[in-house]
């Protein structure tokens, strides 16, 4: 099975530019989209079932999933007591596992948004903890945090640590999530490789590959032996993020 995850920074602009065409070369079975920034529900690619979790606020946030086969079930949001008004999570129940498509909030150097981010992180952990009682979990998406210094272009590290009051909490929350029994699949396969998934739009950062790794596949430990590869599709443009691809034999 091939699963693609991509923060679009706006679905309408990606459709207009034809950004999805190059993805067809990889023949993905599932495409998880974040930051769709629309309440419309267009046909993104023919031959896929489309599932949506829109933000209440138009032209903001939102997630979607495209699958070649109809789902056993789909769930929007996280725990029942957490209000997912920004449409940041959608879960597909597949035959052997749950697949969570997550667009984690950005603290934006704001105390209010930082508090919301911490609440969201806690709700995601509680939700994953509950799902793992039933079957394995794969989580993909934009987590808006780099795990380690290797995940940041060296000259950007000073910018990262300038906000360490935020970053330290977010990195800690991420590690706590992984302690539920999940593995960062890319880092497990490539422990020493620098590769990025997001670049600032300013000053030719992507052309010079001065980026950050903010997009992940987190896989239940018991499924890791089935993971064949994780690839950063850096040659596909259309967003400030590149798509990432997981190949898993399930």
What secondary structure does DSSP assign to 192-246, as a single string?
T----SB--SSTTTTTTT--B--EEEEEEGGGGGGEEEEEE-TT--SSSB--EEE
What secondary structure does DSSP assign to 188-205, as a single string?
HH-TT----SB--SSTTT
Question: Residue 150: how many CB atoms within 10 A of its CB?
Answer: 15
Catalytic residue status for 26: no
d(CA 232, CA 234): 6
Q: Are 105 and 84 in contact (CB under 8 A)?
A: no
Query: Within 13 A of 104's CA, how many CA atoms are on the CB side?
Result: 29
Catalytic residue status for 142: yes
Total residues belonging to the chain: 250
Tokens of 68: 């070649």
Question: Catalytic one among 84, 142, 151, 173?
Answer: 142
Question: Catalytic one among 51, 98, 103, 166?
Answer: 103
Crossing angle for the helix pair 164-178 and 111-131, nearest 10 degrees? 0
CB under 8 Å, gap of 24 or more: what pairs does 39-48 form? 40/11, 40/12, 42/11, 42/15, 44/11, 44/15, 44/20, 45/20
Tokens of 236: 């596909």
Q: Which residues are designated catalytic?
A: 103, 142
């Amino acid at each position: 099975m091939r699963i693609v995850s991509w923060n679009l920074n706006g679905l309408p602009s990606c459709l207009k530019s034809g950004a999805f065409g190059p993805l067809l070369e990889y023949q993905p079975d599932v495409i998880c989209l974040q930051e769709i920034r629309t309440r419309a529900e267009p046909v993104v690619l023919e031959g896929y079932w489309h599932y949506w979790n829109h933000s209440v606020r138009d032209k903001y946030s939102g997630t979607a999933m495209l699958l070649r086969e109809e789902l056993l079930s789909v769930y929007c949001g996280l725990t029942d007591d957490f209000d997912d008004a920004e449409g940041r999570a959608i879960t597909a129940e597949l035959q052997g596992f749950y697949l969570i498509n997550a667009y984690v909030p950005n603290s934006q150097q704001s105390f209010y948004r930082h508090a919301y981010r911490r609440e969201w992180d806690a709700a995601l952990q509680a939700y994953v903890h509950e799902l793992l009682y039933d079957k394995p979990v794969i989580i993909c998406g934009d987590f808006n945090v780099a795990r380690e210094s290797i995940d940041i272009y060296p000259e950007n590290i000073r910018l990262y640590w300038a906000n360490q009051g935020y970053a330290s909490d977010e990195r800690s929350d991420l590690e706590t999530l992984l302690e539920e029994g999940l593995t960062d699949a890319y880092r497990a396969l490539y422990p020493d490789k620098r590769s990025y998934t997001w670049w600032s739009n300013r000053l030719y950062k992507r052309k010079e590959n001065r980026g950050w790794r903010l997009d992940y596949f987190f896989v239940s430990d018991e499924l890791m032996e089935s993971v064949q590869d994780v690839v950063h599709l850096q040659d596909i443009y259309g967003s400030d993020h590149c798509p990432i691809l997981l190949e898993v034999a399930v």
